[in-house]
Amino acid sequence: MAGNSFGNIFKITTYGESHGPGIGVVIDGCPSGIELDLTFIQAELDRRKPGQSKLVTQRKENENFVIQSGVFEGKTTGAPISIFIPNEDQRSKDYAHLADAYRPSHADYTYQMKYGHRDYTGGGRSSARETAARVAAGAVAKTLLKTYQIEIYAFVSQIGNLKIQSESIDYTKIESNEVRCPNEAVAKDMADLILKTKKEGDTIGGIVACHILNCPIGLGDPVFDKLHADLGKAMLSINAVKGFEIGSGFSSVTMKGSEHNDIFYNEGGHIKTKTNHSGGIQGGISNGMPITFRVAFKPVSTLMQPQPSVNSSGEEVVLEGRGRHDACVVPRAVPIVEAMAALVIADSLLLARAYGLGQP
């Protein structure tokens, strides 16, 4: 396997499965002298963890993390920061019936074909638990970005057919409800829809929107490493994500250029745009406006109802989810989207420092 690292200058490497000793992440490239707040890292992990509300899986996981290196007297030393999160509730027995069968729309079949030898207890590296490592690393990246006043807010903008407009958001409302939708009325309907779907033994998808505020002008590079291309890859690497759009996104295809172009104006010496269809990025480079994007999550594949499938001998079998699974993963995906965004921005920021901004 390759591809367990992300980033170039601010780079993380994750490891671990849901049913071994634990999962972890090594962060290489964090500047020295950054004060780390362990309470903040824990809070971020808690936003992602299962069992935090009645909307999500009731599987309990205490995300107690250990920092194993790279921090001295509360501050980063510049050395790699290793964060380990032990697994507490392994329960491999839940998975014995899956050793040989391929769950629909999971990675079982592709793993078996690619690797020959497969850890069937918990999905291997495709376990959603892997994202806890991303959130821990993202908390470190966010801490770095705070020194630049950069803020990142993700929130749920759609569950099934229920949606809000994601343009003008009261960020203080995001954590006011279990769905993490800043419109509380719609949030209530969304919660009802998730619970109803859960009762049916079914699952439902949704959209997470994300705004990055106060991003310096000049992050991203104009050709292959456009800032939104890196954000897109980051988001598409999250489990269950099926789509990504920046700014106007797919809605731009029905617009005329005269309607879509963001007109520049001078606001007290600062150049801004009247609209933000560009989503804060032009020619692959941040322009100082809020960076806005949206991420589509499919419905979870594990259903509490029987489904036909085949096993590794090609025989027909019937599978049904056991244990405790999410009917909708979207509210828990909010901190993951923020973490991946923070990693991309931290990496782009350090790279821009390397080249200078507007000077040799």
- Which residues between 184 and 203 bind a second copy (CB under 8 A)? 197, 200, 202-203
Q: How far is the CB of 301 from a second copy (least distance, A)?
A: 6
Contact yes or no for 213/150 (Cβ under 8 A): yes
Helix (H, G, I), strand (E, B) or coil at 325: coil
Identify which of residues 156 and 172 has a Cβ nearer to a second copy in the complex.
Answer: 156
Q: What is the DSSP string of 36-65?
A: P-HHHHHHHHHHHSTTSSTTS---------
Applying the rule CB under 8 A, the residues between 235 and 254 that interact with a second copy are 236-237, 242-250, 252-254
Q: Which two tokens stand for residue 331?
A: 């509210």
**Under the criterion CB under 8 A, does residue 318 sit at the interface with a second copy?**
no
Considering only residues 44 to 73 of the shown chain, the ones binding a second copy according to CB under 8 A are 66, 68-70, 72-73
Region near a second copy per CB under 8 A, out of 38-46, 54-62, 176-184, 219-227: 219-227
Tokens of 31: 């500047």
Determine if 356 is a binding residue for a second copy (CB under 8 A): yes
Asked if 262 and 251 touch (Cβ cutoff 8 Å), the reply is no
Specify the residue, 44 or 262, whose C-beta has the smaller distance to a second copy.
262
Residues 78-97 that bind a second copy (CB under 8 A): 78-82, 84
Pick from 150, 207, 212, 333 the residue near a second copy by CB under 8 A: 207
Which residue in 59, 173, 188, 233 binds a second copy (CB under 8 A)?
233
* Dihedral sign of CA atoms 346, 349, 351, 354 in order: negative
Min CB(172)–a second copy separation in Å: 25
Return the number of the residue (29 or 51) whose C-beta is nearest a second copy. 29
Q: Are 118 and 112 in contact (CB under 8 A)?
A: yes
CA dihedral for 233, 146, 352, 281, sign (positive or negative): positive
Binding to a second copy by residue 22, rule CB under 8 A? yes
- DSSP annotation of 351 reads H
Cα–Cα distance for residue pair 68/35, rounded to 1 Å: 16
Distance separating alpha carbons of residues 83 and 81, to the nearest angstrom: 6
Give the nearer residue to a second copy in terms of CB position, either 285 or 345.
285
Please identify which residue in the block is written with the tokens 């779907």. 197
Q: Using CB under 8 A, which of 54, 305, 320, 323 touches a second copy?
A: 305
Q: Which of 41, 49, 55, 76 binds a second copy (CB under 8 A)?
A: 76
Asked if residue 331 binds a second copy (CB under 8 A), the reply is no
CA angle centred on 82, ends 76 and 87, rounded to 5°: 140
Should residue 177 be labelled a site residue for a second copy when binding is judged by CB under 8 A?
Answer: no
Single out the residue of 137, 273, 293 nearest to residue 229, CA to CA: 293
Parallel, antiparallel or unpaired: strands 241-246 and 75-76? unpaired
**Could you give the string, one character per residue 94-133, with x where binding to a second copy holds by CB under 8 A and - elsewhere?**
--------x-xxxx-xxxxxxxxxxx----xxx---x---
Using the contact rule CB under 8 A, the part of the chain among 7-15, 41-49, 55-63, 169-177 near a second copy is 7-15
